[in-house]
Structure 1
Amino acid sequence: MVQRNAIKKHILKFLWVYFCLAGPSLLAQVRIDVEILSPVLDANKPLFIALDYNNWNPGDPAYVLTKVKENNYYIVLDDAPPSFEYKFTQGSWILVEGTPSGEGLPNRSFDINSAKTKLVQAKILGWEKQVAYDIIVDNIPENTPKDAEIYISGNFNNWEASNADYKLKRNIQGQFTTRIYSDLQKLEFKFTRGSWESVEARESGKARPNRIIKRSSDINNKAIIVTIEGWEDLMGTLHVYSLFDFLLLFAVFQGMLLVIAIPLIQNANIEANRWLILSIIISSLSIFLYLISNFQTFVNRFPGIVILHDFVYFVYAPVFYFYLIKLLYNVQFLPSKWYLHFVPFLIQFFVYLPFLMQNDKRFLLDLMEQKLILTYIFGGAGIFGLLWNVYYWYLFRKTIVAYKLEFQTNLSYEQNLNYLNSVSVIQFVVLCFWAFSIIAILVGHYFDIDNIRLFENSVDLTWFAFSTITYFVGYFAIHQSETFKAQPQKISIFDDLLETSVNLNQKPSQNDLESTKREVEKLEKYMAEHSPYKNPKVSLSELASQLQIPAHLLSKIINDHYHQNFFDFINHYRIEEFKKMVVDPKNHNLTFLGLAYEVGFNSKTAFNRSFKKITNQTPREYLDGIKIE
């Protein structure tokens, strides 16, 4: 026990001697006096020391220097390590000491073993030259609270909404001013009242894009005067943009009503209308998401809302295509590879999924900073979405044209499907605005043109044009009678291959010619005696049944012998009958339209179009010619 106590005494004695000799070398109290020989960059900010042992924090409150008199400061570093490196700043690395010419300086250093004293005399000869931006807000919204504090937030301060160093100050003219130092090539920023809920907006309260200042040779200390139009949490009066928003909202409500009304009112085209209802749901939902994504109140709660409406790029067109197929063609089932139409949508979903699942604050910050990966992904989705929809617009036109040829082969009357042509025109307008938006943003990016307002207006017009499709499709779907269903055809690259008969181009035999001649005579006799063309709804199958010959044979006779389709064949008889009736005194009490109905036409438009096609004259021109004779 005595021996153990003796050992402890020796150890304690050794440690006491060691700290007496080495202690001053391990920890020391160092005083640094600083004289500033060059005016500070910002007279309102204190002087800091950033050291290697405080992780080079340029604005640590524990290391702020005390001002002795004008341009003279000091700091006492308690428990400083035996050697360290340091620099002087004004709270950030943008405001850091430099050479008199504005160039950077190497780190200052201190070593207690080589220093003769623990008092360091330092002089600041200059500051690193930084580009200065003087921001002046000359006008703010009238509804801004009187005691509001306005901050500037951007990529130069990590988008902090209420950083005290970036608080604007009011000058004697009543303007709000601040100076920003940054060596960034492009400054992006917005003004806030201390939070992202109270960020600046368009005059209507709608979200505005980041303000952008691009660095140039003459930008330094050049006043940049801006105006704050509105605040997102303080909606302004009703302006054109808010009226535009109401129109979009009305389209959404009408879509909801159509989703309810179509299945209750319409009993025709039931299968097709199911796809139509789905397309209306998709379009209305996407319009609504686009609408609310323009307001920061919603974006702050769920930032992913700004990209949800992008899903319409790849899902709406296939659904509308299936509506047309079900409406116009006699198909019981979708093509066996129908799912291929939705592969781009699935790819987009899985690409977007990580961003939708990302931390809300992180995603919002990435959006503010316009990260390159977001630009490529969302911009690429817009470009490929445009190409995808152009392809489907081609399919829509191809489907309608093919159907028109088919019903002209089988029917003698026109289907009331002009609304599909109107929808096709609107879709084309949507694609034009969409393409213009992409071109505008690309031109602005590559040619350094500030056309963001043009881009915004073009995008708004794209969505407005898209919203009008619901009006046309929904209204006519409610009033549309059951359509003639044509035989299915291969329209899309994803559709099944259809079996087609092989044309061997065989020369008809003598018996075939004689048989055809007899059938032609039989047809002409029946047309002359029974006037089946006066039936507005007469069809190829109905006339073939009356003649007791196969429908395909009757179609072949009309095509080969008369070089017409069934539609033109019947209308030719109707026009000839009209010519006879118009000169008959017994019919002088009837109007042109009345005579047209008498000979089998079911509309004025169909009569005028057929008359012009067959006679190369309008009915009025024909009648005037008769009077002259």
Structure 2
Amino acid sequence: MVFTKIFGQIFSSANYFKFFWLVLIYLNIGSLVAQTNFVIDYVPKDTKPSDILYLTGTFNNWKPADVNYKFTRKTDGTYELRNKFFNGSWISYKITKGSWPTVEVKNDGTPLTVRKHSFNNAIEETLILQVAGWSDTFNEQTKPQKVAIVLTEIPRNTPPNSSIYICGNFNGWVPGDQRYKMKQLANGNFQIEVPVYTAPLEYKFTRGNWLTVEGNSYGRPIPNRILGSKEISLNQPIKNRITYWEDQSYGIFNPYTLLLILTALQGFFLIFIINSSRNNNKWANQALSVLIFIISFTLISRVVIYDRVIYTDYPRLSLLTDLVFFLYGPIFLIYIERLLQHSKKSFQAYWPHFIPFIIQIALYITFSFNPTHTFIEQNLFQSLESPPYAFYEVIVLLALVFNIWYWFRIKGKIKMYFRNIEVNYSTDQNIKYLNVIMMVLGVCLVLWTVIVLVDIYSTYSNYPINYTANLLIDTLWAVFSVVVYLLGYFAIKQPEIFRMAVVEVEESTPEENRSQINTGELKELKQALHLKMIQEQVYLNPELSLPELAEKMDTNVHTLSKTINAGYSKNFRDFVNYYRIQDFIERAQDQKYKNQTYLAIALAVGFNSKSSFNRSFKKVTDKSPREYFNNLKTD
């Protein structure tokens, strides 16, 4: 009930999130149970009436002669396989005559890349297929060059008696093709010869299906292995080693994803913390809660796509991580304006800032209407040369520029606030954490820029650097997650920063800056001001502000500010802290305070933090407190 109330408050002023949730529901369409009919209306002329045709694929672990997927030959010469149900949203498949040596090929005898089909459970589908040729027909005609592939090492956790397969563009990427089951030699190595129909030769190792393909330690796909024309022409065995299997690695729960999961959970908990108590920052914390929710949600989405099974069934979930592209900057800006400028404008008032996000959602929904297998291919085999990915790259580039612009705009607002606060207030505000967060976000933008440059270089060069790009992307998300950890750290160490109201400062107008004080008036004001500081010791008030002191002086803020600037060549904060430091020095040498620490004395003379005191002491004396008093002893 408490959580419902909190999240209701968070999103009550953000109606656009209703649209966000509709998109989420759309992208989470479950696995389909599809009924499909397959009809082959053309086969090669050399196909005998006695030949039996089979459907093989991911649904039967690539068994080439599965009686459950046997075609029936009709009197009109067509072949039919009716009323087959498939679990999942898509399949990969091929047609055989009962064995892998008789699998279908292109009309020139070269391997046919596996067929793919995405299902639509709204209707019963019928797929019309044509077979251009059979592999056994071309075996005698085509004698491609062959290259020996040697596997010298496999992971220690490889299940006993596992069969190792190689697949690639030489067999249409069938992962369980019995023709390419590797033979184990007496020395423990595995070896096989594969044909080279085209260069470069691309391949991967599996244990019979894509769930057991080689991968990295975190269970993520690795780039295809590639042999160029130069390597192939050497006619020497190509040695390889497998470090990890995808299904035998850490999987979805690994050190990297656990970091993201813990960050997201901390983010959700932090939302509860900063909204569960009365505070003067309600409007700012509301925007901050939305910001933390978006970060946490995208981190969880990032984790989900690390599992091959989840990704295969729900590939469109990968788009959820991109929702932060055009949301983070505007919402962070809203938070800063509500925090520093006490703005109470609703989220709707900022609607122009969210136009890029709305356009992105519209484009992504259109993009996600592509068949599931096509969607996955465009994600896994990304290339700037393909229109869909080129469109995605444009979005990434625009998002980078978009966020850099917001970073500088927000940085400017924070910098202006700190500059004006020194003119109006004598103590620091507890919002230095903003500078730390801006620094982390700056690192993220630098990493993002490097990723874009690496991607462009990889696209237009002959040196694939997918591993480097993936490492940089993972690093970017890890650094991005630090924002939530920082907010959590400050929420625990300095919880008051999320409860106390941040002071509002005003900039002086050009007319006020140009106004002058005559010499006689300046002298009188300086004398009165000095007496006020010495006799009444108003500097002892840690919350002393320029307006408050002007009221005590029976003058206006701008006249007092001019007096301090012109008469002492200091801003308001440095002027007040000068008197605090003088008082501190006197007390530190007084026997009456000998049992008190420097920090206790500093707080007693009006400082509100150790860092503020040390900074001011160094500014006034050009020494640290310890150095200053050690010098006094030696003198």
Tell me the TM-score normalised to structure 1 length.
Answer: 0.72
Q: Taking structure 1 as reference, are residues 456 and 312 closer, same or farther at Cα in structure 2, changes over 3 Å only?
A: same
Task: Say whether 1:366 aligns with 2:378.
Answer: yes
Q: d(CA) in 2 for partners of 1:335 and 1:583?
A: 55
Task: Say whether 1:539 aligns with 2:545.
Answer: yes
Paired residues of 1:410 and 1:566 also in contact (CA < 8 A): yes
Q: d(CA) in 2 for partners of 1:332 and 1:286?
A: 27
Task: Say whether 1:350 aligns with 2:356.
Answer: no
Paired residues of 2:200 and 2:229 also in contact (CA < 8 A): no
Paired residues of 2:166 and 2:182 also in contact (CA < 8 A): no
Paired residues of 2:168 and 2:201 also in contact (CA < 8 A): yes
Q: CA deviation at 1:179?
A: 4.5
Q: d(CA) in 2 for partners of 1:427 and 1:338?
A: 22
Alignment deviations for residues 483-519 of structure 1 (CA, whole Å, 9 cap, x no partner): 4233478xxxxxxxxxx8343886748xx55444443
Of 486, 492, 504 in structure 2, the residue corresponding to residue 486 of structure 1 is: 504
Paired residues of 1:331 and 1:488 also in contact (CA < 8 A): no
Q: d(CA) in 1 for partners of 2:491 and 2:108?
A: 67
Alignment deviations for residues 201-251 of structure 1 (CA, whole Å, 9 cap, x no partner): 3244x121331315323414553333444444x343699x92222222211
Q: d(CA) in 2 for partners of 1:570 and 1:149?
A: 79
Q: How does 1:136-285 map to 2 (within 5 A)?
A: 136-141=150-155, 144=158, 151-154=165-168, 159-162=173-176, 167-173=180-186, 177-204=191-218, 206-220=219-233, 221-232=235-246, 234-236=247-249, 242-265=254-277, 267-285=279-297
Alignment deviations for residues 257-287 of structure 1 (CA, whole Å, 9 cap, x no partner): 1122221146241111111111111111111
Q: Name the counterpart of 1:523.
A: 529
Task: Say whether 1:576 aligns with 2:594.
Answer: no
Q: How does 1:212-611 map to 2 (within 5 A)?
A: 212-220=225-233, 221-232=235-246, 234-236=247-249, 242-265=254-277, 267-333=279-345, 338-370=350-382, 372-477=386-491, 479=495, 480=497, 481-487=499-505, 501-503=509-511, 508=516, 514-611=520-617
Q: d(CA) in 2 for partners of 1:125 and 1:613?
A: 86
Q: Taking structure 1 as reference, are residues 260 and 161 closer, same or farther at Cα in structure 2, changes over 3 Å only?
A: farther
Q: CA deviation at 1:405?
A: 1.1
Q: d(CA) in 1 for partners of 2:178 and 2:159?
A: 19
Q: Taking structure 1 as reference, are residues 532 and 488 closer, same or farther at Cα in structure 2, changes over 3 Å only?
A: closer
Paired residues of 1:185 and 1:214 also in contact (CA < 8 A): yes
Q: CA deviation at 1:171?
A: 4.6
Worse-matched range after superposition: 132-141 or 535-544: 132-141
Paired residues of 1:159 and 1:365 also in contact (CA < 8 A): no
Alignment deviations for residues 499-550 of structure 1 (CA, whole Å, 9 cap, x no partner): x8343886748xx554444433322221221010011121122222222222
Q: CA deviation at 1:302?
A: 1.0
Q: Taking structure 1 as reference, are residues 57 and 534 closer, same or farther at Cα in structure 2, changes over 3 Å only?
A: farther
Paired residues of 1:190 and 1:211 also in contact (CA < 8 A): yes
Give, as a single letter, the amino acid of the residue that structure 2 aligns with 1:459.
I
Q: d(CA) in 1 for partners of 2:481 and 2:192?
A: 43
Alignment deviations for residues 46-68 of structure 1 (CA, whole Å, 9 cap, x no partner): xxxxxxxx96859957699xxxx
Alignment deviations for residues 311-342 of structure 1 (CA, whole Å, 9 cap, x no partner): 22221222222222222222222699723322
Structure 1, unpaired ranges of 5+: 1-53, 65-78, 81-88, 98-122, 490-499
Paired residues of 1:94 and 1:181 also in contact (CA < 8 A): no
Q: Taking structure 1 as reference, are residues 468 and 236 closer, same or farther at Cα in structure 2, changes over 3 Å only?
A: same
Q: Helix, strand or coil for the counterpart of 1:226?
A: strand
Q: d(CA) in 2 for partners of 1:56 and 1:293?
A: 40
Give, as a single letter, the amino acid of the residue that structure 2 aligns with 1:343.
I
Q: Helix, strand or coil for the counterpart of 2:295?
A: helix
Paired residues of 1:59 and 1:90 also in contact (CA < 8 A): no
Worse-matched range after superposition: 341-350 or 215-224: 215-224
Q: Taking structure 1 as reference, are residues 507 and 434 closer, same or farther at Cα in structure 2, changes over 3 Å only?
A: closer
Q: Taking structure 1 as reference, are residues 273 and 556 closer, same or farther at Cα in structure 2, changes over 3 Å only?
A: same
Alignment deviations for residues 422-466 of structure 1 (CA, whole Å, 9 cap, x no partner): 222222332333333333444444443343333322222211111
Q: d(CA) in 2 for partners of 1:486 and 1:373?
A: 50
Q: Helix, strand or coil for the counterpart of 1:503?
A: helix
Structure 2, unpaired ranges of 5+: 1-40, 52-75, 78-101, 111-136
Q: Which has the higher contact order (CA 8 A, sep 6+)?
A: 2
Q: d(CA) in 2 for partners of 1:428 and 1:557?
A: 39
Q: Helix, strand or coil for the counterpart of 1:314?
A: coil
Give, as a single letter, the amino acid of the residue that structure 1 aligns with 2:502.
F
Q: d(CA) in 1 for partners of 2:304 and 2:152?
A: 30
Q: Name the counterpart of 1:51.
A: none
Q: d(CA) in 1 for partners of 2:139 and 2:181?
A: 29
Q: Helix, strand or coil for the counterpart of 2:239?
A: strand
Alignment deviations for residues 336-360 of structure 1 (CA, whole Å, 9 cap, x no partner): 9723322332232223222323222
Q: Name the counterpart of 2:623.
A: 617
Alignment deviations for residues 123-165 of structure 1 (CA, whole Å, 9 cap, x no partner): 9999567454444444444555557555545455554455566
Paired residues of 1:94 and 1:182 also in contact (CA < 8 A): no
Q: Taking structure 1 as reference, are residues 485 and 255 closer, same or farther at Cα in structure 2, changes over 3 Å only?
A: same
Worse-matched range after superposition: 292-301 or 520-529: 520-529
Paired residues of 1:138 and 1:227 also in contact (CA < 8 A): yes
Q: Taking structure 1 as reference, are residues 330 and 520 closer, same or farther at Cα in structure 2, changes over 3 Å only?
A: farther
Q: Name the counterpart of 1:110.
A: none
Give, as a single letter, the amino acid of the residue that structure 2 aligns with 1:468.
V
Q: d(CA) in 1 for partners of 2:389 and 2:629?
A: 65
Worse-matched range after superposition: 387-396 or 531-540: 387-396
Q: Taking structure 1 as reference, are residues 183 and 348 closer, same or farther at Cα in structure 2, changes over 3 Å only?
A: farther
Q: Name the counterpart of 1:42.
A: none
Paired residues of 1:330 and 1:488 also in contact (CA < 8 A): no
Q: CA deviation at 1:411?
A: 1.1
Alignment deviations for residues 389-432 of structure 1 (CA, whole Å, 9 cap, x no partner): 33333233322221111211121111222322222222233233
For the aligned residue pairs, the C-alpha RMSD in angstroms reads: 3.8
Q: d(CA) in 2 for partners of 1:540 and 1:169?
A: 82
Q: Taking structure 1 as reference, are residues 212 and 61 closer, same or farther at Cα in structure 2, changes over 3 Å only?
A: farther
Paired residues of 2:516 and 2:562 also in contact (CA < 8 A): no
